[in-house]
Structure 1
C-alpha cells in the first residue's frame, strides 16, 4: 500500500490544527494535545491513535498518548531517521473514542483513509478486537495496548501487542493476597470485556489455591459515578480481598469507597490500574492502597534503560510516567528501527516482520523495560515482576517469590 507522505520545507512546515474531534498533534496549535517538533527536509509519517481522551478513562488515554508524543519529539529533535536513503520524521494524529469499540473502528478507518497512518495505536481490548476485523484488509498495523491474551490468539498478522498478557499475573497476585489476607474474594472489576475476561481467568486460580469467591459484580465506569451501593454489595459477605480494576482514577475511587465503608483487607488490582497513579490521585489519602498487589510502576523500577525517560517525563509533565507512557514511548523507537531494518515506511507486512529486529536495535538508554522478543504472534515478551504496598511503601517483588 502506497502511503501519502508530507515534506516539511522551511517555513511552510506541517500545518497542524484541530478539526472537529480530531487532534492533530504538532505544529503551532497546542489547544489539544502536545506539540510535535517539525523537522525541515524530512518526509513526515503520520502515526494514528484512537483512545479515550474524554470521560472517566481520559487520564489513561492521555497517558498513553503522552508516551508517543515524547518519543516522536525526541526522534524529530535528533533530525529524524533514515530509511533507504530518505530522511523521515513522525507526526501524531489522535482521535477520541471515549473507550467505545464502535468509535474505535470508525476512528481507525478515518486515520488510515485521511492521514495514511501505517499504524494505529489502540489502548483498550474492545477497540482492538473491533479494529482487527478489518485492519489486514485495509493494510495497517494495530499498536495494541492491552494485556488481553486473545488479541494475539486471533492470528492477525498486522497486530503488535505491546504489554505482557495478564494471565501471567493472576497466579502470583492470588498467592500473595491469599497468604497475606485470607481466602474470601469479592470481585468488582470494570464491566468491559477485558475486565470480564480477567475475572474469568482469576476465579479458577483463586479457587484452586483454596480460596472462595463470595461476590461477583462489575462497575460500568462510563456510567457509574457513585460507587456506594456497588461497593456496599461487594462487602456484604465480609471479604478478605477485593478484586478491582479499570483505569487508575475511577479504580482508586472504588477502593477509597471500600475503605470508607470499613474494608480492611487487600486489593488485587488488575494491570490496567497503576499503584503509583492511584497514589497520586488519592493524595493525602494514599493509605487507601495499603495491602494492594499490582503491576510494577515504572517509577519504582528505575534503571539505566529508563532513568533518563523517567526524569525527562517528570520534568515535562510534573508527574512520574506510568507504564502506558513508557510502553508507548518504547514502541515508537521500535517502530522506527523496524522501518530501518525493513527498508520501507509503507510496507506494513515488511515492517511487522522486522519488529523483532527493531526491538533488538533500540538504543540501550531507550529500553524502558527488559523486553526479550516480539513473538511470532506479535506479542512483546518481557521479564515480569509485581508490586505490593506494605507499610505505606510500593515494593517490587520477583514473580517467583
Structure 2
C-alpha cells in the first residue's frame, strides 16, 4: 500500500513537472502568426502568371521564417493566404475584404492594375497595405496612403526604348501589341513619345493576344505599311508567335517589346534569340550577370527543378522581404500605416541577397525606384544595359 502511494505521488510529480516543462517550452517557442494576403489569377488564361507571382512570395516567406523574424520583441511566423480572383477586379476587392476580416492580414498583394484600382476604393478604410504588382503610374499617382507599387513605372522605358529602336532601324513604327488595358496604357504613352521624337506611326492594329493563336492576318496588315520597327507585347507566348510570324512574313526590322512579355519566354516560342534580333525589352533574370541575381536564379532552380524565375517571381519575392523588414523596423505587424512609413527604409536596408533587382527605395508616392536593367538582342545574343545608360547615349 505504501509502495503504491509512493508510486502514485512520483507519477503525479512527474506529470506536473512534464506539464511545467511543456508550458515553459511553449512560452519559449511561442510565435505570433501573421498572415500575408494574395489575390490574383490562379485559374484561367492568366494562371501561370499568377502562380509565378505566388511562387516568389512563397520563396520569400520560407526564407524569412527560416532566418527568424522578430517584431517588437516577439517571434513572428509568416503565412500566406492565397485566393483566386481569376484576374477579375471585382473578385480582387471581395477577396481583400475577406482576407482582412477572416485572416487579419496587414498587407495584401494584388498582381494586376484592375484589381489594384478596385482594392484602392476600400483599403485605407480597412487598414490594409496594398502591395500592387503593376507598373502603371496611376496606381501611386492617386495619393492612396496605403499603396506600394512593386515595379518601377513603365513610363521609364518609353524614351530609351524609342531612342534605341529609332536610332537602329528607322522612324516608321507599326503598333501591333495586345488590346487589353495594360497594353493600351503602354500605347497611350509610347505613341506620342515616338512621334515627338520625329517618328511616324504607319500602322496601328492591336490584337487579342489572349484569345488568338494565329496572328498572320493582323501582322500582314501592319507589315503592308512597311514599318522599320514593330511595337508589340502582351503575354509572352502569343508575343512569341507575333515575332515568329512577322519574321516568316519577311519583316527585317526591330521590335519594341512591352514589359509584360519576357524575352526568355518569347525565345522558347521563336526557337531562340535569333528571330528577336534588334529587339529591346525587359532583361530576362536568367541573363542578369549581377552576382546576387545569379545567386537567386540558382536558389530558385534548386527549389523548383526544371523552372526558371521571371521578374514576376523576383520582384514579388523582394516585396515580401521588404514588408517583413518594414514590420521589423516599425515594431508592429498590425499597423499598416506604420509599416507603410518604413517601406522606403526597408527596401534600402535589405541585404543584396534579397534585393535581387537593386531596388533603391520608394518615392514619396509609394513607387519603387531602381536603375532598371533591360535587354537588347544583338548578334543573336542578349546584351544587358541599364535604362540610364541608354538615355545618356
Same fold (TM over 0.5): yes
TM-score (structure 2 length as normaliser): 0.86
CA RMSD of aligned residues (A): 1.9
Match of 1:14 in 2: none
Matched residues in 1 for 2:141 and 2:167: separation? Answer: 33
Match of 1:73 in 2: 62
Equivalent position to 1:51, from 22, 31, 40: 40
Unaligned runs of 5+ in 2: 1-21, 23-28
Q: CA deviation at 1:206?
A: 0.7
Contact 1:143 1:159 in 2 (8 A): yes
Matched residues in 2 for 1:127 and 1:178: separation? Answer: 35
Match of 2:294 in 1: 307
Match of 1:202 in 2: 190
Paired residue secondary structure (2:92): helix
Contact 1:118 1:139 in 2 (8 A): yes
Matched residues in 2 for 1:338 and 1:87: separation? Answer: 15
Matched residues in 2 for 1:105 and 1:343: separation? Answer: 28
Contact 1:121 1:143 in 2 (8 A): yes
TM-score (structure 1 length as normaliser): 0.85
Q: Is 1:141 matched with 2:132? A: no
Equivalent position to 1:337, from 325, 329, 335: 325
Change over 3 Å in CA distance of 1:273–1:84 after alignment to 2: same
Equivalent position to 1:253, from 235, 241, 266: 241
Match of 1:394 in 2: 382
Q: CA deviation at 1:90?
A: 1.3
Match of 1:295 in 2: 282
Q: How many residues align?
A: 361
Match of 1:159 in 2: 147
Match of 1:83 in 2: 71
Q: CA deviation at 1:363?
A: 1.9
Change over 3 Å in CA distance of 1:215–1:106 after alignment to 2: farther
Match of 1:275 in 2: 263
Paired residue secondary structure (1:174): helix
Higher Rg: 2
Matched residues in 2 for 1:350 and 1:286: separation? Answer: 46
Higher helix proportion (structure 1 or 2): 2
Range that drifts further, 185-194 or 166-175: 185-194
Change over 3 Å in CA distance of 1:220–1:138 after alignment to 2: farther
Q: CA deviation at 1:326?
A: 1.0
Paired residue secondary structure (2:101): helix
Range that drifts further, 309-318 or 155-164: 309-318
Contact 2:243 2:276 in 1 (8 A): yes
Q: CA deviation at 1:68?
A: 0.6
Equivalent position to 1:351, from 302, 326, 339: 339
Q: CA deviation at 1:198?
A: 0.9
Q: Is 1:64 matched with 2:15? A: no
Change over 3 Å in CA distance of 1:67–1:342 after alignment to 2: same
Q: CA deviation at 1:154?
A: 0.4
Paired residue secondary structure (2:246): helix
How do residues 120-135 of structure 1 correspond to structure 2 at under 5 angstroms?
A: 120-135=108-123
Q: CA deviation at 1:67?
A: 0.9
Contact 2:273 2:381 in 1 (8 A): no
How do residues 225-240 of structure 1 correspond to structure 2 at under 5 angstroms?
A: 225-240=213-228
